Amino acid sequence: MANMSRDLVEAGLGWSWTSGRIKQQIRCPDTVAIVARRSHAMGGFAIMHYLTNEAHLNLLAVCPSCQRTGIGRGLVGWLEESARVAGIRHIHLEVRSTNCTAQAFYRSLGYEEAELIPRYYNGRETAIRMVHKLRRNAGFTQGEQILNVPWGILVIPAKNVPD
Ligand SMILES: CC(C)(COP(=O)(O)OP(=O)(O)OC[C@H]1O[C@@H](n2cnc3c(N)ncnc32)[C@H](O)[C@@H]1OP(=O)(O)O)[C@@H](O)C(=O)NCCC(=O)NCCS
């Protein structure tokens, strides 16, 4: 997960989502980390932090060879459904202003641009904050309906993370 963050999310910025930081996230009781898994292969992962009325998507990446097969949509859908059940109404996230693919992806899921945050990344690159207002009762009931591809979603339990 850390390597994917470095190579796919943070390329050219420096590595802030190191394995130590990701382990902290997995151990945090207010955070959920999930992976899309088939056999022993990981297709992608996502990490969301849940607050009282809103949630923040901290990280999301899909392996290049699996992109555009619905895994990203499935991961975000799973986390949004959990948020809905928890009574959360807004999801927000930041995306690099240069990352047009991710912006198109989030727009396709209903996220809207809320504000620009200059020098958000490493004091250098602008972030776009995007927000999605969740609809009540819009959810799914089965994981397979969310991730409409042959991947299962696995929540990473904190106890499985070695020191
Ligand atoms: C952004 C990312 C997570 C999308 O994941 P994905 O699994 O490839 O996306 P999906 O297959 O679920 O796509 C869902 C929809 O998003 C949109 N979309 C996805 N990739 C797109 C692209 N390259 N160009 C335009 N639209 C795109 C499409 O509307 C797509 O639906 P469609 O395939 O039916 O047309 C993936 O490209 C990725 O990991 N990128 C590198 C890391 C990254 O940028 N992470 C986000 C950091 S904020």
Residue 77 has pLDDT above 70, yes or no: yes
Burial of 1 (0-12, 13-18, 19+ CB in 10 A): buried
> Measured from the CA of 94, which atom of ligand 1 is nearest?
48
Q: What class does CATH assign to 2-158?
A: alpha beta
Residue 143 has pLDDT above 50, yes or no: no
Mean pLDDT over 34-58 rounds to 95
Residue 96 has pLDDT above 60, yes or no: yes
Quote the ligand 1 centre to 143 CA distance (angstroms): 19
Residue 19 has pLDDT above 80, yes or no: yes
Pocket of ligand 1 (CB under 6 A): 8-9, 60-62, 67-73, 95, 99, 101-102, 104-105, 108
CB pairs under 8 A, 24+ apart, for 57-63? 57/91, 57/92, 57/93, 58/25, 58/31, 58/93, 59/1, 59/5, 59/9, 59/17, 59/22, 59/25, 60/9, 60/93, 60/102, 61/1, 61/4, 61/5, 61/8, 61/9, 62/36, 63/4
Mean pLDDT over 54-74 rounds to 97
Predicted TM-score of the model (pTM): 0.92
Identify the pLDDT of residue 156: 86
Model pLDDT for residues 102-139, shown as the tens digit of each residue = 999 999 999 999 999 999 999 999 999 999 999 776 55
Domain residue spans of the chain = 2-158
> Measured from the CA of 63, which atom of ligand 1 is nearest?
39
Residue 17 has pLDDT above 70, yes or no: yes
| CA neighbor of 83 nearest in space, from 31, 14, 19, 159 | 31
Better-predicted residue by pLDDT, 157 or 55 = 55
pLDDT mean across residues, the chain: 91
> Measured from the CA of 71, which atom of ligand 1 is nearest?
7
Quote the ligand 1 centre to 108 CA distance (angstroms): 9
Range in 16-20, 45-49, 134-138 the model is least confident about: 134-138
Tell me how far CA of residue 33 lies from CA of 45, 78, 79, 113, 162, in angstroms: 7, 11, 9, 24, 15
